[in-house]
Amino acid sequence: GGGTLLEWEGQQIGEVFAYGMPLEQMDGAQYTLRRMPYVGLAIAAIVCIILGGSFGTALIPVRAVICISWMLVVTIGASVMVYQLGYLEGLGLQALAPSGERQALFWLSPTITLAILVGLGLDYDVFFMESVVEHFDAGYSSREAVVEALRHTGTIICVAGVIMFLAFGALLASTTPVLNQIGFMLCVGVLLDCFVTTKVTIPTLMALVPDNANFWPLEQKTSMRERAFGGQTVFVQRPPPSFRRSLSWSH
């Protein structure tokens, strides 16, 4: 836009333009935050396309978007409580205290952590759901497949989450407030995703869906209980959707 008009006795005598690093950052912050809703919609669409093509189901991508959105909302809300409302200021830790006179989140903190948390959340989600789909293909019911997947992958996901928590937690040792905020948001997001979303939210949402509708339009081609032969359980695997096929798949 234009600058500020200067007038003297009703006559325009010039125009003043202000510039500098603070003003450039303010413009960048406003532009970025205005575009964040579009970024969120684009990420949701990409997640639905990738997961829908990978697993060949309709509900898994929608459920993934809901779980990741819930994790982001709780993470940002916790950051506001800590760095804007000062809920942990009584601990006396600089890394968990509001910074500056305005006591607000830096605009870079949520914009940077958004992409990282979506990637991590989607990574853990895909790892867990791959095991769920494999057990479903093997003849387990929807709920049985979730339970077996938790038994096989739950410990691995928790260990991976603890490792990422320790790595991101190092940012809390910094004396730079924006790095403290980014580290806090990443730590909270990782812990929520590994210990709450994977262990509670996903199984609960899948349990609320009746029968095998979680995998619609996929259908089980065989049942473990129907293909017993010679004292052994035999089942026939169907080829996975095209995105999940690999060179190791035997036709």
Q: Which residue has the higher pLDDT, 161 or 24?
A: 161
> In DSSP terms, which residues pair with 232 in a beta bridge?
229
CA distances to 7, 80, 175 from 25, in Å? 29, 21, 21
Residue 61 has pLDDT above 50, yes or no: yes
Q: Which two tokens stand for residue 145?
A: 């497949």
Residue 226: pLDDT band with limits 50, 70, 90:
very low
Between CA 168 and CA 187 the distance in angstroms is 6
- Report the predicted TM-score, pTM, of the whole model to 2 decimal places: 0.77
- Tell me what percent of the residues of the chain surpass a pLDDT of 90: 30
Q: What is the mean pLDDT of residues 74-82?
A: 93
Least confident residue range of 15-24, 46-55, 91-100, 143-152 = 15-24
Q: Residue range 84-111: average pLDDT? A: 84
pLDDT at 105 over 80: yes
Residue 97 has pLDDT above 90, yes or no: no
pLDDT in tens, 162-208: 999 999 999 999 989 999 999 999 999 999 999 999 889 988 888 88
Assess whether pLDDT exceeds 80 at residue 154: yes
